[in-house]
Amino acid sequence: MKRRTVLAGALAGAGALAAKGFPVLGRLPAAAAQPAEFNLRLDDELLTLDPALMTSGQDYAVAYVVYSGLVRQTPGSTEILPDLATKWDLSPDGRTYTFHLRQGVKWQRGFGELTAADVKYSLDRIKDPKLGSRFRADLEPVRAVTAVDPYTVTITLDKPYGAFLSSVLAYRPGYIVNQRALERYGKDYSANVVGTGPYVVDQWVPGQGVHVSANKDFYGPPPKIQRAMFRIVPDASTAEIALERGDLDVSYFDVPDVMQRISRSNRVGSKSIVGPRTYWVHLNMERPPFDDVRVRQALNYATNKSDVVQRIWLGQGTVANSVLNPNMFGYLKAERYPYDPERARALLAEAGFPAAAKNKTFDFISDGTGDWPDMAAVLQQQWRAVGVRIQITALDRAVFEQRRQAHQFDMLAINSLRLEPDQILVPYFDSAQIPYPNVSSYRGADALIEGARDAVDPQKRLEFYAAAQQKIQADAPVVPLLYPNILYAWRPGVKGVVPGLLVYRLETYSI
């Protein structure tokens, strides 16, 4: 099992902490003074600190404390709060937002005052196809960004978009950058990041991590932690030991056996929450027998999700009933497919499946990362019990993406980490996204998805999201499996740790 690290191996890793830049200090007492540098864990190397080009959660964890947006959203909440904009107005037709900017906001590194021109540049830059930003699609609804005066900016949409603030401006595409800094530093920008957030990047050391310090010109409450380092510690068991020794101050974990140990430990503080990630299996509706809804529904009935959660995730997760996760606005908690293998067999028989699949083995592909190989093996056993046989193929990421985009599969394993319903429903279930990323080729919920996107009234959006989830459940283009937990842990003496859905809310921490 690829993610099942064992403590014996981790003990050997403890000696490697010093070699990787960790001072082996021993555990610090609860009453210790603020350390010279507060240590937070990243589990992989960063790729870039240019917000328009970010692709990994590691990039985002650092960017979260360095940049600001017009608005912000507390992770796990649906409330949109002021940030660089102190207030905003929406036109009666729901198409034009007018943002009134906070005055006197200073760019880091002496780049002057933030103005509406910076907002226009940041959003127009993402929309420019020459940049190749992955967030360009998020800004497709934007017709124009206008700097009305230094402290007023308008954003005009092609049509109303109820989730625009939460899905776009309060998310990664909404970070505001400085044009002069990007042009001055060019390819070296990530080593010379310029933002307006509570922390300044002092140094990025490849392979080790990123040093940051409190921004003395920050417009918000001054952070209590003055210096911090986002340290790269890929192995979860090594990070566990580092946390217990005091070499890490805060870390999040998503490896089940490590999570289980830490949650039972009295050596560190911890909190487990339902994460923003959903695991599911796409069914290729272009290939028989998955073009028959009865077969797709049968697979959902044949799946013992609780068994997957307990056996593979050691109880560190929640059974999934929807493609949306419980952190999302509009999530509908309504289980349509309780585990019922007899019902699955009846539906398969009704669809004429036993005869059609007498000598058929279906191709189940994954990218081979995380717990998918183990989960696929459990699904293989469960589905074989109702007469459905699968061949599991774990591919490297590049080949997996090629086959995914070419629809060369019967079943495809995926997990998606998103915070907004539109970020799931539109790419994966809107027919306009066929052949990719809607690789199930599902066409059944377009009107509901579009209705939710167009609705400005939150209650109307809730109604559309509920109906869309019910329709997707009924049509069963996918088999949702689970929502894995995230565990946050901190050494004694650290206060103000608020779980942030894979970001560190460093500005809330203190010693």
129-174: pLDDT as tens digits: 999 998 888 898 999 999 999 999 999 999 999 889 988 999 889 9
CB atoms within 10 A of CB 319: 18
- Angle at the Cα of 199 from the Cα atoms of 194 and 201, rounded to 5 degrees: 55
What is the DSSP secondary structure assignment for residue 86, as one 8-state letter? E
* Spatial separation of the C-alpha atoms in residues 28 and 319, rounded to whole Å: 38
The rounded distance, in Å, linking the Cα atoms of 491 and 290 is 50
pLDDT above 90 (res 27): no
Mean pLDDT, the chain, rounded, equals 90
- Residue 345 — very low, low, confident or very high, per pLDDT cuts 50/70/90? very high
Residue 60 domain-assigned (yes or no) = no
- CATH number at 348 reads 3.10.105.10
Asked whether residue 221 falls in the same domain as residue 306, the answer is no
- pLDDT more than 90, % of the chain: 77
138 part of a folded domain: yes
State the total domains in the chain.
3
Last residue of a domain, one of 181, 208, 225: 181
Do 245 and 304 lie in a common domain? no
Q: Residue type at 334?
A: A
Q: 95-109, 205-219, 495-509: which range is least confident on average?
A: 495-509
Q: Is residue 174 part of a domain?
A: yes
Same structural domain for residues 255 and 390?
no
Position 2 in a domain: no
Is 405 found in the same domain as 357? Answer: yes
pLDDT digits (tens, 9 = 90+) for 221-258: 999 999 999 999 999 999 999 999 999 999 999 999 99
Q: Tens of pLDDT along 77-109? A: 668 999 999 999 999 999 999 999 999 999 999
Regarding whether 287 and 254 lie in a shared domain, the answer is: no
Pick the closest to residue 99 from 152, 158, 144 (CA basis): 152
CATH assignment at residue 90: 3.90.76.10
Neighbouring residues of 222: CB distance < 8 A, sequence distance ≥ 6 = 214, 216
Is residue 373 one of the residues assigned to a domain? yes
- Helix, strand or coil for residue 305? helix
Has residue 48 been placed in a domain? Answer: no
Q: How many Cβ atoms from other residues are within 10 Å of residue 170's Cβ?
A: 23
Domain that holds residue 256: 7-43+198-268+491-508
Residue 365 has, within 13 A of its CA and on its CB side, a CA count of 21
The tokens for 493 are 């003496």
**Residue 334: band (very low, low, confident or very high) from pLDDT cuts 50, 70, 90:** confident
Per-residue model confidence (pLDDT) at position 249? 97
The band of 22, judged by pLDDT with boundaries at 50, 70 and 90, is very low
What pLDDT does 275 receive?
87
Q: Note the pTM of the prediction, 2 decimals.
A: 0.82
* Confidence at 38, pLDDT banded by 50, 70, 90: very high
Same domain membership, residue 296 and residue 411: yes
Give the confidence band of 355 by pLDDT, cuts at 50, 70, 90. Answer: low
**Same domain (yes/no): 342, 446:** yes
Is 51 domain-assigned? no
Same domain, yes or no: 239 and 171:
no
Residue 364 counted as domain residue: yes
Question: Average of pLDDT values for 190-219?
Answer: 96
Same domain assignment for residues 317 and 455: yes
Q: Nearest Cα to 38, choosing from 197, 230, 208?
A: 230
